[in-house]
Amino acid sequence: MMPVFSFTDPYTDPTPHLLAALVAPETDVRLIAAQTIRKLPSSQAVPVLIARLQAETSDEVLAEVVETLGILRARDAVIPLLALVAHPDELVRANLAESLGWIGTRSPKVNETLLTLLTDPDEVVRCYAAESLGDTGFGAEALAALQKRGETDASPMVRVWCVYGRVGLGDEWDWDTLGEAFADGEAIVRRQAFLAVRMMVTDETAEAASTLIRAAQVNETSEDLRGEYEAFLRSVGSGERFP
């Protein structure tokens, strides 16, 4: 019989209870379990989560399961995850694209799946696909697809992450695209541009990146973003690790 679990008892292992909750009949219980198990990394969770990829009936829970497998860097989940490439729910597909980057498996099948997701009708899915191609993609086909998508996509956020993807594959920074994103009227676009720069910057590109951020800082209307720009510039200026 499973011992009674208490959140106030530090000696109680919550893993068996969370694994049981992942297959509970109540959707909200499964949702909370999928969100919580990622905070308690355990190899026991991965097989149960993989099984949920096929058995789960709630798109909301499935999206959380996909994200949790990515956070847990579950390499055994890669092949089952690829089967979700055409799933009708955009959050499931977005989390798939993101999780493939987190897991980090480089293979022709992963590359092909991310290239498919790069053409997804949903903007967020395309953003994550471009980002993950920069982390795990390879080959001339991936680089060409990112370049074409960066030139033609109507979304400035997708264009930003295509720059990130290309840099991850060894291409040069596209300063024009980044500059346009930092000048965009939507704060969310400017934030995505900043996140991409912060993730891409190296010792070799720190000076040019700082020049770009200083220029963006002049006209930035968001206090939060101005603060983040300033923190980045202080970090680069002091030679510390980039924030």
Choose among 81, 88, 89: nearest CA to 110. Answer: 81
Q: Is the pLDDT of residue 3 over 70?
A: no
Asked whether 69 and 46 are in contact (CB, 8 A), the reply is yes
Question: Cβ-count burial of 152 within 10 angstroms (0-12 exposed, 13-18 middle, 19+ buried)?
Answer: exposed
Specify the residue for token string 């002091």.
238
Q: Tens of pLDDT along 5-22?
A: 444 455 567 788 889 999
153 phi and psi angles, rounded to 5 deg: -70, 140
Could you read off the pLDDT of 10-63 as tens digits, one per residue? 556 778 888 999 999 999 999 999 999 988 767 789 999 999 999 999 999 999
CA distance 202 to 186: 27
As a whole number, mean pLDDT of residues 81-101 equals 98
> Residue 115: how many CA atoms within 13 Å on its side-chain side?
17
Domains defined for the chain, CATH in brackets: 1-105 (1.25.10.10)
Q: pLDDT, tens digit, for every residue of 131-165?
A: 999 999 999 999 999 999 999 999 999 999 999 99
Contact indicator for 106, 131 with CB cutoff of 8 Å: no
